[in-house]
Structure 1
Amino acid sequence: MERVRDLASKKAIVMFTKSSCCMCHSIKSLFYELGASPAVHELDKDSRGKEMEWALRGMGCNPSVPAVFIGGQFVGSARDVLSSHVDGTLKQRLIDANAIWF
């Protein structure tokens, strides 16, 4: 869990994904469309990916990917990100984390 928290604190937006996950691709695309550049860690391409996946599940992310952190804070999975986008709070979170500028 320490590795996940460390990686999540290094950039304004950090995503843990899998290369074969369609929802991961969709969430990455959403951030790119909003003008953000997330740090993406693909668990299926990381030697410690399984360990990080279990840590994410321990943090309450089920399914474990995509797992999104903004400003070092755990936002949640695709459902949580999409909900905050629909209700308008995602953009403000990105601005507050200096991930996008307006």
Structure 2
Amino acid sequence: MDRIGRIASQKAVVIFSKSSCCMCHAIKRLFYEQGVSPAIFELDQDSKGKEIEWALMRLGCNPSVPAVFIGGKFVGAANTVMTLHLSGNLKKMLRDAGAIWL
């Protein structure tokens, strides 16, 4: 859990992902299209990926990926991020976190 906190605070937007996950790909693409350059941690390519995945599930992320952190705070998985995007609240969160300027 401490490692997740450290990683999540390294950049304005952090995404825990798996390289083979189609929803992870869609969420990463959404952030790129918003002009965000997130830090991405591919759990299936990390030696401690399984441990991180279990910790993400304990945080309430189910499924465990994609898990999105903005401004060091856990936002949620794909459904939550898409809801924020469609409501217009994602851009505000990104601006407040310093991930985008406009």
TM-score after normalising by structure 1: 0.99
Which residue of structure 1 aligns with residue 49 of structure 2? Answer: 49
Q: 1:34-60: CA deviations, max 9, x gaps?
A: 000000000000000000000000000
Give the counterpart letter for 1:72 in structure 2: G
Q: In structure 1, how many angstroms separate the alpha carbons of the residues matched to 2:3 and 2:49? A: 10
Which residue of structure 1 aligns with residue 4 of structure 2? Answer: 4
Give the counterpart letter for 1:63 in structure 2: P
Could you tell me which runs of 5 or more consecutive residues in structure 2 were left unpaired when the two chains were aligned. Answer: none
Which residue of structure 2 aligns with residue 21 of structure 1? Answer: 21
RMSD, aligned α-carbons: 0.4
Which residue of structure 2 aligns with residue 101 of structure 1? Answer: 101
Deviation for aligned residue 1:18: 0.1
SS of equivalent residue, structure 1 residue 63: coil
Which residue of structure 2 aligns with residue 62 of structure 1? Answer: 62
Q: In structure 2, how many angstroms separate the alpha carbons of the residues matched to 1:2 and 1:64? A: 17
Q: In structure 1, how many angstroms separate the alpha carbons of the residues matched to 2:54 and 2:3? A: 12
Could you tell me which runs of 5 or more consecutive residues in structure 1 were left unpaired when the two chains were aligned. Answer: none
Deviation for aligned residue 1:75: 0.2
Q: 1:43-85: CA deviations, max 9, x gaps?
A: 0000000000000000000000000000001000000000000
SS of equivalent residue, structure 1 residue 28: helix
Which residue of structure 1 aligns with residue 90 of structure 2? Answer: 90
Q: In structure 1, how many angstroms separate the alpha carbons of the residues matched to 2:55 and 2:5? A: 9
Count of residues paired in the alignment: 102
